[in-house]
């Protein structure tokens, strides 16, 4: 069985990149949402991405961003994948793919009910991201996912850390786990917590 993939999200300092290069997650997330404390500019993301190992995929995280800007970041190679956390609908995803041919899309869904899971399952995105909300750091009712059947891979996010990620993988068998605040101390990425998290991945 393939090892569960890992995404470190909200990287914004060169020290974060050095830690990621040492630990080799599959994905590194750069947040392009101005209201986030982890927000980075295009230039910062470009410089951080240059320092990142080439086999770690660069994911841009957006909230209701203009699709033209997202497409430009994809086309310019600043990011490899677009992760959408707002109200982006099927029309938005279609437009993004028309602007950036072959665009890979992760669509995030806040899961609070079976209806939310059904909505997620109908998405045309390449991957789903199942979360408790935008960076809340809280888990949600995992039993909802256990009862669902998806025909596409999903990232599990929300409240994950070294103390519970192994349980999450065992119960839900996600394609990938996504962590941000769970590998931070006082709002800053903590290399020791990043290392502990990776040590728990099955």
Beta strands of 111-167 (E only): which ranges? 127-131, 154-156
Contact 32, 73 (CB under 8 A): yes
9 catalytic? Reply is yes
- Give me the catalytic one of 16, 131, 170, 178: 131
Residue 36: give its domain's CATH number.
3.20.20.70
Beta strands of 5-125 (E only): which ranges? 5-8, 27-31, 57-62, 81-84, 104-110
How does the average pLDDT of the chain come out, rounded? 93
Asked if the model's pLDDT at residue 132 lies above 90, the reply is no
Q: Name the band, by pLDDT with cuts 50, 70 and 90, for residue 133.
A: low
If we measure between CA atoms, which residue out of 23, 52, 49, 36 comes closest to residue 191? 23
Asked if the model's pLDDT at residue 138 lies above 80, the reply is no
Asked if the model's pLDDT at residue 167 lies above 70, the reply is yes
- Residues 184, 169: Cα–Cα separation, whole Å: 21
Q: Is 93 helix (H, G, I), strand (E, B) or coil?
A: helix
Asked if the model's pLDDT at residue 14 lies above 80, the reply is yes
- Count of structural domains within the chain: 1
Asked if the model's pLDDT at residue 113 lies above 70, the reply is yes
Contacts with 160 (C-beta within 8 Å, 6 or more apart), sequence order: 139, 168, 177, 178, 179, 182, 197
Range of the structural domain that residue 25 is part of:
5-199
Mean pLDDT for the stretch of residues 141-165: 85
- Give me the catalytic one of 9, 55, 178, 192: 9
- Residues 32, 125: Cα–Cα separation, whole Å: 19
Mean pLDDT for the stretch of residues 157-178: 93
Mean pLDDT for the stretch of residues 109-116: 88
131 catalytic? Reply is yes
**What is the pTM (predicted TM-score) of this model?**
0.94
Asked if the model's pLDDT at residue 135 lies above 60, the reply is no
Quick: pLDDT tens for 92-103.
Answer: 999 999 999 999
Q: Residue 137's pLDDT is what?
A: 54
Q: Name the band, by pLDDT with cuts 50, 70 and 90, for residue 144.
A: confident
Mean pLDDT for the stretch of residues 125-138: 76
């Amino acid at each position: 069985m393939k090892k569960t993939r890992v995404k470190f999200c909200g990287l914004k300092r060169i020290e974060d990149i050095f830690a990621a290069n040492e630990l080799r997650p599959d994905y590194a997330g750069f947040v392009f949402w101005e209201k986030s404390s982890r927000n980075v500019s295009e230039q910062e993301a470009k410089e951080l991405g240059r320092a990142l190992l080439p086999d770690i995929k660069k994911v841009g995280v957006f909230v209701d961003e203009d699709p033209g800007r997202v497409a430009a970041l994809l086309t310019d190679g600043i990011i490899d994948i677009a992760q959408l956390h707002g109200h982006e609908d099927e029309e938005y995803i279609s437009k993004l793919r028309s602007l950036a041919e072959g665009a890979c899309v992760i669509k995030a869904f806040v899961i609070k009910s079976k209806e939310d899971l059904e909505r997620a399952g109908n998405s045309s995105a390449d991957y789903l991201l199942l979360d408790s909300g935008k960076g809340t750091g809280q888990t949600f009712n995992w039993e909802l996912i256990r009862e669902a059947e998806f025909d596409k891979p999903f990232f599990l996010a929300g409240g994950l850390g070294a103390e519970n990620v192994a349980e999450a993988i065992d119960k839900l068998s996600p394609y990938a786990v996504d962590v941000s605040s769970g590998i931070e101390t006082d709002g800053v990425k903590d290399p020791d917590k990043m290392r502990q998290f990776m040590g728990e991945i099955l």
